[in-house]
Structure 1
Amino acid sequence: MRALTWQEPGKVEVIDVPKPTIQDPTDAIIRVTSTAICGSDLHLYGVLGPYLGKGDVLGHEFMGIVEETGSQVTNLVPGDRVVVPFNISRGKCWMCSRGFFAQCETTQNTKYDKGASLFGFSKMYGEVPGGQAEYVRVPHADFGPVKVSEGFADERALYLSDILPTAWQGVKWANVPKGGSLAIIGAGPADHLRRILWRSHGTDLCARGGCPRVRTF
């Protein structure tokens, strides 16, 4: 299959790589239909370069169609359309039970003092081949992937893989009080999503008589 791979700092290439196969009974193989580039992928060009190997498959924002499942996967069947979150979690540990899926103790990378494994994001995060490829192996497939109905185009559903939850979490954790203001530093895609999310949240506050201002710097 074809995949985007890291070659050296500042250089990536689309090359032929082996198609992934089921390695554990909790795996699923996804045929990728859409993928996106995250701003954090730029870290792989420089600062995280020493933790990458030539030929590593990149990408952690993707969705597609389930092609094959392991014997212990019960929530997915071949043909399901899914969007896959960037972090790999099992959903059964202490951290996951409290909603800290990015710190999953099952996939945590203690050797590098890092959290849960991530798709396509260096050996510091599990060295799991990423989703900028024709196919990808998804570990613990019963927990992470989210089924998507046919009524949503890839261009809409793909945001659920990373950037939209990231923006939503930032707005939620800002915990701005009623009548307060929210400063959004930057004007990248995630920042614009934060603005949209905050305005949708602010509509309700306006109805109660207080409408925070939104400024983008």
Structure 2
Amino acid sequence: MKALCWTGINKLNVEKVPDPSILNPKDAIVKVGLSSVCGSDLHLLDGYVPTMREGDIIGHEFMGEVVETGPEVKKLKKGDRVVVSSIIGCGGCYHCNHGAWSLCDNSNTHPALLEKTYGYAGAGIFGYSQAFGGYAGSHAEYIRVPYADNGMFKIPEGISDESALFCSDAFPTGYMAADMADIAPGDVVAVWGCGGVGQMAIR
């Protein structure tokens, strides 16, 4: 398949790479329908995130169609149109059970690297460097989704691909920020940084 790969600071190339395959029974393979560029992808491109490896596939905001599932995937099936959370959560650890997927104890395959680099441990993120698990990203034709029953959501009929795509990262990030700020109807607030996430927080 073709994928957009990081090949060095300020260097990206479309390259031919192997198709992903099921590695664990809770995995699914998704044919990517739409994958968007996040502002944080620029941190990967310019070397601000120091744990990129040449050939890493970037991208973490996406939706698509399930083409294969592992034997332990029960909620979704081949042919389902899905949106996938950019944060990978196992769904069973303490943090996931308390709604804090970004701190998942099990999804980051390199937690010590993340802690050494940033001073904290956290979850895996698609296409966001070795420190966040080294998972292949969504700027590709296909992607492997670990813990598919937890982070992959069937898109209802009547919702466009473009609308569903916002639910991968930009909308839930902005919504959670607004929710954690205890904003109530009639409150006057200021939002600094009105990119995609800021716009979602405003709405």
**TM-based fold match above 0.5:** yes
Return 5+ residue gaps in structure 2 as ranges.
Answer: 116-120
Q: Give 1:63 deviation, angstroms.
A: 0.7
Matches within 5 A, 1:39-58: 39-45=39-45, 46-48=47-49, 50-58=50-58
Matches within 5 A, 1:1-217: 1-45=1-45, 46-48=47-49, 50-108=50-108, 109-111=110-112, 112-113=114-115, 114-176=121-183, 179-196=186-203
- For the residues of structure 1 that align with 2:42 and 2:17, how far apart are their CA atoms? 22
Q: Give 1:179 deviation, angstroms.
A: 4.9
Contact 2:84–2:151 (8 Å) recurs in 1: yes
- For the residues of structure 1 that align with 2:199 and 2:187, how far apart are their CA atoms? 19
Higher relative contact order (CA 8 A, sep 6+): 2
Moved over 6 A (4+): none
- For the residues of structure 2 that align with 1:38 and 1:67, how far apart are their CA atoms? 25
- For the residues of structure 2 that align with 1:177 and 1:3, how far apart are their CA atoms? 43
Q: Give 1:57 deviation, angstroms.
A: 0.5
Q: Give 1:68 deviation, angstroms.
A: 0.4
Q: Give 1:75 deviation, angstroms.
A: 1.1
Q: Residues 186 and 75 of structure 1: is their aligned pair in 2 closer, same or farther, counting only changes over 3 Å?
A: same
**What TM-score results when the alignment is normalised by the length of structure 1?**
0.86
Percent identity over the alignment is 42
Q: CA RMSD in A?
A: 1.3
Q: Give 1:78 deviation, angstroms.
A: 0.5
Contact 2:89–2:147 (8 Å) recurs in 1: yes
- For the residues of structure 2 that align with 1:96 and 1:186, how far apart are their CA atoms? 28
* Structure (1 or 2) with the larger CA radius of gyration: 1
Contact 2:111–2:132 (8 Å) recurs in 1: no
User: Any idea what the Cα deviations from partners look like across 1:154-213, whole Å, max 9, x if unmatched?
Assistant: 1100000000001101111111366532111123222222222xxxxxxxxxxxxxxxxx
3-state SS, counterpart of residue 165 of structure 1: helix
- For the residues of structure 2 that align with 1:110 and 1:33, how far apart are their CA atoms? 30
**Length, aligned pairs only:** 195
